[in-house]
């Protein structure tokens, strides 16, 4: 079984690449973030032609998450129980479903913006809600994983130049502590193979030749419970999909399972 997570940075803009990628890779389930479309505008028909069902939690604007699957979508949950919301509204940042033998969450963690911004406090509160939502499945016997854009680099090794991020979001002790607390529910960081590069970055800014110079970050993560982690036969960042015209600024992270 092949599972991937991918922040597509607009499903509409990335649809031709996504469809071609699905046909090439034969991926069974994709956790998608930053759809930037409404649920009605999500390209479910085009994906159905390739054999994928879609579960979407999106309202347009800048957020939106989805799960697409060739192996079923059951027990769908949209949003986090206890979602703290931002400026009085819950944002579409999490969706869960059972896909064949595996239970999955696709998550798009708030960015945080700046450390003294209200969005940063919201980010930490959102992590608490995520931890509470996944704790039961994390300790269970069924393969389970939380995949997505976490907007946190777990360690300094996950940032191309840590000195440039001092005092900025994505690397603060509080954000990393939130990741640690999430793992302590019973999850393991499934670190992808870096292939020919020494670090498996997943995101590169469009500006200042970020990708050609490999000025990246590992913020797209796969956190799996013990049954999930034991089933992993391979994992990697598909850097090829970050290349060329019309690419997202994130690359897909792919995990193969023997289940």
Strand segments (E) across the chain: 2-7, 29-33, 53-57, 65-69, 74-78, 94-99, 102-108, 144-149, 188-189, 203-204, 216-217, 220-224, 232-237, 253-257
Among 149, 158, 220, 238, which one carries the catalytic annotation? 149
Spatial CA neighbour of 255 closest among 147, 134, 107, 180 = 147
Q: H/E element holding 14?
A: helix 11-25
Q: Name the packing angle between helices 118-138 and 173-183 (round to 10°).
A: 10
Was 249 annotated as part of a binding site? yes
Active site (annotated) includes residue 86: no
Is 220 annotated in some ligand binding site? no
Q: Which among 86, 85, 109, 83 is positioned nearest to 31, based on CA atoms?
A: 109
Q: Give the number of C-alpha atoms closer than 13 A to the C-alpha of residue 18, restricted to the C-beta side.
A: 29
Task: Tell whether residue 111 is among the known ligand binding residues.
Answer: no
Task: Based on the residue annotation, tell me whether 258 is a catalytic residue of this protein.
Answer: no
Q: Establish whether 117 is an annotated binding residue.
A: no
User: Out of 83, 86, 238, 250, which one is annotated catalytic?
Assistant: 250
List of residues 6+ apart from 111 with CB closer than 8 A: 119, 123, 151, 169
Q: Is 34 annotated as a binding residue?
A: yes
Catalytic residue flag (residue 57): no
Q: What is the CB neighbour count within 10 angstroms for residue 257?
A: 24
**Is 14:35 a contact under the CB 8 Å cutoff?**
no
> Is residue 129 within 8 Å of 84, Cβ to Cβ?
yes
158 is in an annotated binding site: no
Q: Which of 52, 108, 201, 223 is catalytic?
A: 108
| Binding site residue list | 7, 34, 149, 151, 249-250
| Binding site residue list for Mg(2+) | 7, 34, 149, 151, 249-250
Question: Which positions are catalytic?
Answer: 108, 149, 250
């Amino acid at each position: 079984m092949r599972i991937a997570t991918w922040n597509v940075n607009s499903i509409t803009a990335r649809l031709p690449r996504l469809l071609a990628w699905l046909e090439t890779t034969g991926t069974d389930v994709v956790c998608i973030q930053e759809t930037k479309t409404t649920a009605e505008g999500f390209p479910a028909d085009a994906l159905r032609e390739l054999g994928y069902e879609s579960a979407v939690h999106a309202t347009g604007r800048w957020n939106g998450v989805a799960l697409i699957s060739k192996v079923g979508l059951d027990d769908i949950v949209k949003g986090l129980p206890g979602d703290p919301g931002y400026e009085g509204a819950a944002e579409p940042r999490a969706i869960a479903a059972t896909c064949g033998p595996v239970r999955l969450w696709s998550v798009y963690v708030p960015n945080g913006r700046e450390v003294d911004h209200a969005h940063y406090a919201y980010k930490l509160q959102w992590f608490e809600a995520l931890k509470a939502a996944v704790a039961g499945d994390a300790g269970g016997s069924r393969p389970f994983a939380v995949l997505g854009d976490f907007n946190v680099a777990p360690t300094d090794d996950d940032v191309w130049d840590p000195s440039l991020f001092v005092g900025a979001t994505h690397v603060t002790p509080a954000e990393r502590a939130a990741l640690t607390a999430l793992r302590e529910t019973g999850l393991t960081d499934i670190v992808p193979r870096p292939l020919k590069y020494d670090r498996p970055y997943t995101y590169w800014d469009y500006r200042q030749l970020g990708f050609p110079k490999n000025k990246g970050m590992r913020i797209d993560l796969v956190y799996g419970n013990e049954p999930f982690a034991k089933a992993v036969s391979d994992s990697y960042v598909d850097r090829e999909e970050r290349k060329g015209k019309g690419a997202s600024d994130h690359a897909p992270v792919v995990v193969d399972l023997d289940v």
